[in-house]
Copies of this chain bind each other. A is one copy, B any other.
Amino acid sequence: MQGLTASCKIVLVMFLLGLGLAGATADSRRRHISSSPDEPCKKMTLYLHDILYNGVNNSANATAAPATKPTDLSTTHWSNGTFFGMLVVFDDPVTEGTALPIGQEEPAARAQGFYFYDKKESYSGWFSFSLVFNSKACRGTLNLMGADPMDAETRDFSVVGGTGDFFMARGVATIHTDATEGYFYFRLKMDIKLYECYV
């Protein structure tokens, strides 16, 4: 994590041979482009907690809720359904460890965006969201999107942009479903590696 809580300002993970700097100036921040998939300019591991509204009694704790119902395509094709077409909007806490924040504890970030289910034959989703960092140590956002075929052990999302402390970042986030509790909770481990940074 390289001290995310201390500061999330991007620092070089390692000093690279053949350093991929384009256009270094006297300015305090310089653009850094990694030259290889093995050499991110920033990496961190974060956990996303999705607590889905169950429609009954968890509205105080829920951080996500369906904005649409599954479509006929799902319900007519499979007797049990694969939620095809269900779109969920979320404002999920994101933590550095696996535990949910306790009491008034602030999470490391929030994940704000949506996902939906898009396959008839199995559970498969698609995500687009922002990681919103808003602490004294770390301000800014990372914007992500990608397919989530849940039967794969890990899936890759693209980090397509960043703002604030993550100004102009790009990279890849490798996702793993770390824990689930029935239909109404899942935790995603996100290994985020940035390959374009201003440092």
Could you tell me the distance between the alpha carbons of A45 and B124 in the complex, rounded to whole angstroms?
Answer: 26
Cβ of A170 within 8 Å of any chain B Cβ, yes or no, is yes
Q: Mark A160-196, 1 if CB is under 8 A from B, else 0.
A: 1111100110111000000000000000000000011
**Which of B21, B30, B130, B158 meets A143, CB within 8 Å?**
B158
Q: Which residue of B lies closest to A53 (CB)?
A: B73
A143 vs B155: C-alpha distance when bound (angstroms): 13
**Total chain A interface residues with beta-carbon distance under 8 A:** 83
The answer to whether A112 and B147 have CB atoms under 8 Å apart is yes
* Per-position 1/0 for A119-161, Cβ under 8 A of B: 1100010101110101000001101011101000000111111
Q: Is the CB of B146 within 8 A of A126?
A: no
Instruction: Mark interface residues in A83-98 (1 if CB within 8 Å of B CB, else 0).
Output: 0111101110000000
Please state if A18 and B23 are interface contacts (CB–CB under 8 Å).
yes
Residues of A within 8 A of B (CB): 16-27, 29-31, 33-39, 53, 55, 59-60, 62, 65-68, 71-74, 76-77, 84-87, 89-91, 112-114, 116-120, 124, 126, 128-130, 132, 134, 140-141, 143, 145-147, 149, 156-164, 167-168, 170-172, 195-196, 198
Sample (25) of A-B pairs whose CB atoms are under 8 Å apart: A16-B23, A18-B23, A18-B24, A20-B23, A22-B22, A29-B36, A31-B33, A37-B198, A66-B71, A85-B89, A89-B117, A91-B118, A91-B124, A112-B119, A112-B124, A113-B126, A128-B128, A130-B147, A141-B146, A141-B147, A143-B145, A161-B170, A163-B172, A167-B172, A168-B171
